Every structure is written in structure tokens, then in C-alpha cells.
Amino acid sequence: MKKALLVAALCLVANTAFAGKWYAAGELETAENRQTHADSIGTSAILGYKDGDWQYSGKLSTSQAEWGNGSISTSYEGRVKRSFNLGGYAKPYIQGRLGEKVSSTKNFPYYAVDTGLVVPVNSWFDVDFSYRYRNAFDADNDYQTNRYGIEGKVKITDSDSVGLRYAQSYGDSETNSWRLQYTHSF
């Protein structure tokens, strides 16, 4: 898995020869487990590169299973996203992810596929309807989920945006979550 992440990072660096744009994002996420009603919290840092309709990024996340009391886990992820400009009002996309989940009890690799539709409401506000399927390569790790989400994203400046997403996950993880994200393009 570490080799796959290294290859993704090298591809990201190699793309700097093109006329693209670097970006960085920070996320804060809270989630409620619908079965146990435990609240969890997580943070993420993202570094990415956008070249036209393609995006290449890496994500580092850490979370605590139950706020103030519970196991802490970390995830490393390499991601490739392709948006499609069909000349219409909405812009569909698809994204593939490879990652590794690390906790005090076990580590395992996983994959995810996202798809969605971004609808611009006006020049400074977009709505993103999304779906993500995630699973571990080894089914014994209980990591298979389907997540449905909706996010409003406000463009504060040409370089800065803030998004707020609500999502529901089903499968091995039964959660309702809120995520606040700030993104800055360089």
C-alpha cells in the first residue's frame, strides 16, 4: 500500500509541468452512530493538484470513535478525480481512492469509488450530490459502506471556498455526519 501511495505522490509531482493549480484543504467532521448514539470527531488534511478536469490528491485523516473516549484511528489516501464538462448546467464526476486504515489493533488497505453531480446555483454557490462506495480489500475488516451526501459550497474568493456536507452511511458503518471543509487554491 505504501508503494501505491508513493506512486500517486510521484504522479502528483510530475503533473506540475502542466498548467494546473495546487490546493490545500482542512476538514472537521462529526458523526453520530445511529445504533449506539455515540458521537465521533475527525480531522483531515488534503493536498492536491488540479489540471483541467483532473484532480490528484492525498488525504491524511484521524478520528476518534467516541468523542473523548474511544480508539483513535488514522487513514492515508491517494485519490484521482475526473470531472466531466458536458456543456450543460450540472457537472458530473467520478473519483477513485486507495487508502490504508491504521488503528491500535490492526491496519488494512481499502478502496473507494465516489460519483456525484455538482450543480452551480449561481457564480459563488454550488450544491454537490454525492455517493461513495468503500470497502476493504479483505472482507474480514468490516469496512464496506455506502454513503450518500449533499454539500453546499460557497466560493468566498477566487482562491478560497467553504463547504458544509451532510451525509448518511450504511453498511458496516451506520452514521449521520456533518463535515466542514475549507479549501485554498494557490
State the DSSP string of 159-179: SEEEEEEEEEEEES--EEEEE
Handedness of CA 149, 180, 54, 87 (dihedral sign): positive
- Please report, for the chain, the start and end positions of each structural domain, with discontinuous segments joined by +: 2-185
> Could you read off the pLDDT of 139-161 as tens digits, one per residue?
889 899 999 999 999 999 999 99
Is the confidence at residue 81, as pLDDT, over 80? yes
More confident residue, 85 or 87: 85
Distances (CA, A) of 63 to 36, 56, 71, 73, 161: 17, 23, 8, 6, 23
- What integer pLDDT is reported at residue 9 of this predicted model? 53
87 confidence band (pLDDT: 50, 70, 90): confident
Instruction: For the chain, give the mean pLDDT.
Output: 91
> Could you read off the pLDDT of 117-126 as tens digits, one per residue?
999 999 999 9
CA distance 178 to 176: 7
% of the chain with per-residue pLDDT over 90: 78
Which cell is 116 given?
456525484
68 confidence band (pLDDT: 50, 70, 90): confident
Is the confidence at residue 175, as pLDDT, over 90? yes
CA distance 149 to 177: 9
- What integer pLDDT is reported at residue 158 of this predicted model? 94
Phi, psi of 14 (to 5 degrees): -65, -30
- What integer pLDDT is reported at residue 142 of this predicted model? 87
Whole-model pTM: value is: 0.87
> Smallest Cα–Cα separation from 79: which of 61, 98, 93, 62?
98
Which cell is 78 given?
491517494
Is the confidence at residue 18, as pLDDT, over 60? no
CA distance 25 to 12: 16
Is the confidence at residue 8, as pLDDT, over 70? no
Is the confidence at residue 45, as pLDDT, over 60? yes
- What integer pLDDT is reported at residue 1 of this predicted model? 59
- What integer pLDDT is reported at residue 105 of this predicted model? 86
Where would I find the H helices in the chain? 2-14
Task: Map residue 8 onto helix, strand or coil.
Answer: helix
- What integer pLDDT is reported at residue 79 of this predicted model? 98
- What integer pLDDT is reported at residue 4 of this predicted model? 52
CATH architecture under which domain 2-185 falls: Beta Barrel (2.40)
